[in-house]
Structure 1
Amino acid sequence: MKIFRDPITQFVLIGLLLVGLNHFWRGWQGEQGRTIVVSAAEIGRLEQIWAGTAGRLPTGEDRQQIIDQYVEEEALVREAERLGLGDGDTIIRRRLAQKMDFLVSDDAKADDPTDAELKRWFDDHRERFAAPEMRSFTHVYFSPEKHGSRIEADAQTALAKLRSGADWKSLGDPFIQKRSYAALPQREVTRLFGPEFAADLFKLDAGNWSEPIGSAYGLHLVRIEAIDSAAQAKFEPIRAEVLAAWQEEQRIEAKREAVEALIGNYKVVVEKSE
């Protein structure tokens, strides 16, 4: 027909055809988006998670509850995505990044080293496996609340008595923790009294009462009772521990390289703040 040979008519018909196809395509996509498929593989995965938490296999009723929970979560997630609720959400971004981090970590696995490789690595990192120096000590405590501005002078008076042979148990104030400790490494002393106290304590010689040492609690007069020197580790007795540490270091390095490779797929532009 002549009307169908008219260019304007052809343009209109093509436009109507495209609109119709788009309508049907969007409708099909909408139907697909409104269909929640709970696959057998997904059910199996959810049942494994459930069993790991409950400590037993799920019953028929448990299984239905698992499926219902999955469908509910899937519906809520899809509606949230449809409304754009996740756009710009820091928590969601971090959760997605965390899941991707887990995927990268799973792929970043280290092969077993040869005995020679592991031994060389141990020799280079021997200090990591050495038994730390430990100290046993007694202390006399002085409370800032009780002594106020006289705390330093009162501690010095007590120190003179101690060095003259006075019984340490008769001096100082009650302490919230113990007054004598046995065989503590520096990290444990740091945890109990703070880093400055620990650093000062590990500089002291054994057998003599120290000058007042400060902590988070107040002032202390300290006497080192015994020093257990750091012990060098030997390879064979702790080979399994060394292997685990080596594998962890290799895994961290492999993960770092994998993440850098992922970042390399992107162009990073940092805008200057005004």
Structure 2
Amino acid sequence: MPKILREPIVHFGLLAVGLFVYFQLTAAPEPEGSDDGIIEISAADAALLANQHSQAWSRPPTREELDGLIQARIREEVLVREALALGLDTGDGVIRNRLRQKMQFLTDSAAQALTPEAPVLQAHLEANAERFEQAGTLAFEQVLLGSNPTEDEVKATLNDLRSGADPLTRGVASMLPSQVQASAPVQIDGGFGRGFSSALAEFPIGEWSGPVRSGFGLHLIRLTEKEASRLPDLAEVEGKVLFDWRREQANALSEAQFNALLTAYEIQIPSGDELNALVVQ
């Protein structure tokens, strides 16, 4: 594919045109004659209202319902025109924000229409590994020594455990599990306190080590299993990668769209001195 066809601004140009046409065809009909005081609901307008009803209710409208839709559209048009004539839209943050959102929706829709090939997603996965990396896991046994054991008590218990003593016969009683199956760091820290898993990760497998402090006191630990974090295969996280890729494309398209539109305007803002007078120095 030529490089120019991969540029975000080209994507926006092609897709936004199609979406603009789509929105024009499916948006609520705008009655004709807005400049001469005439409100006309054409046959095409009525057909679009009927189609919108069918999509919403899975059936065509009755004649009474269609008449009601037409009258509601006329009422809306009258009130909107009068509101615009009174300048009620001027400075209205809600209206301005809604218009901005609709422009953003146009860009987001363009991004959602993009369907990248597998190599593109694979490259995105590798370039943003930190977003998709699966945390490693740790499994371990633990013996709680209490809040303030003496140094001699810690050494004696550690020597006993390393000599083959039953860990269930050592330490103090608690509601904590004596064995923790393979768990992610966030799960371990959730049970023992922040940073607990980080200390465990430094211990050798199969050897009693420690002590390590948690919110419950000091623990002696025997690490039984350690699996490093890894970047999953694309097939395992393709949906997440696609969502993230489209999000990035939407941001790029939005910026490209804004920069393209900005060229049509001359921007005038207060001078630096005028702005400095308004801020805290």
Q: What interval of TM-score do these two structures reach, taking the shorter chain for normalisation?
A: 0.5 to 0.7
The separation in 2 between residues aligned to 1:245 and 1:106, in whole angstroms, is 14
Which TM-score applies when normalising by structure 2? 0.53
For residues 75-132 of structure 1, give each alpha carbon's deviation from its aligned partner in whole angstroms, at most 9, with x where no partner exists: 2211211111111111111111112222343445665444444433333233433323
2:156 equivalent to 1:125: no
Q: May I ask how many residue pairs the two structures share in their alignment?
A: 206
Aligned to 1:89: 92
Aligned to 2:82: 79
The separation in 2 between residues aligned to 1:189 and 1:36, in whole angstroms, is 68
Aligned to 2:29: none
Structure 1 unmatched runs, 5+: 1-29, 138-155, 171-179, 214-219
Q: Spell out the pairing of 1:120-269 with structure 2 (5 A cutoff).
A: 120-133=123-136, 158=147, 160=149, 165-169=171-175, 183=183, 186=186, 198=194, 200-205=195-200, 210-211=212-213, 229-239=228-238, 241-269=240-268
Q: 1:40 to 1:212 in 2, by over 3 A?
A: farther
Q: Percent identity?
A: 25
The structure with more helix, counted as a fraction of residues: 1
Shift of 1:253: 1.3
For residues 193-241 of structure 1, give each alpha carbon's deviation from its aligned partner in whole angstroms, at most 9, with x where no partner exists: 9xxx65x34423178785355xxxxxx6697998664232113444455
SS in 2 for 1:168: coil
> Pairwise CA RMSD of aligned residues?
4.5
For residues 47-71 of structure 1, give each alpha carbon's deviation from its aligned partner in whole angstroms, at most 9, with x where no partner exists: 55555555x2343144333333322
Q: 1:59 to 1:110 in 2, by over 3 A?
A: closer
The separation in 1 between residues aligned to 2:218 and 2:48, in whole angstroms, is 59
Contact 1:133 1:230 (C-alpha < 8 Å) held by counterparts: yes
Q: 1:98 to 1:31 in 2, by over 3 A?
A: closer
Aligned to 1:103: 106
Q: 1:106 to 1:234 in 2, by over 3 A?
A: closer
Contact 2:135 2:230 (C-alpha < 8 Å) held by counterparts: yes
Q: 1:208 to 1:77 in 2, by over 3 A?
A: farther
SS in 2 for 1:253: helix
Which TM-score applies when normalising by structure 1? 0.54
The separation in 2 between residues aligned to 1:233 and 1:136, in whole angstroms, is 21
Contact 2:135 2:184 (C-alpha < 8 Å) held by counterparts: no
Contact 1:131 1:231 (C-alpha < 8 Å) held by counterparts: yes
SS in 1 for 2:266: coil
The separation in 1 between residues aligned to 2:38 and 2:120, in whole angstroms, is 55
Shift of 1:255: 2.4
The separation in 2 between residues aligned to 1:181 and 1:65, in whole angstroms, is 65
The separation in 1 between residues aligned to 2:148 and 2:249, in whole angstroms, is 52
Q: 1:166 to 1:87 in 2, by over 3 A?
A: same
Aligned to 2:39: 36
Q: Which amino acid aligns with 1:165?
A: G
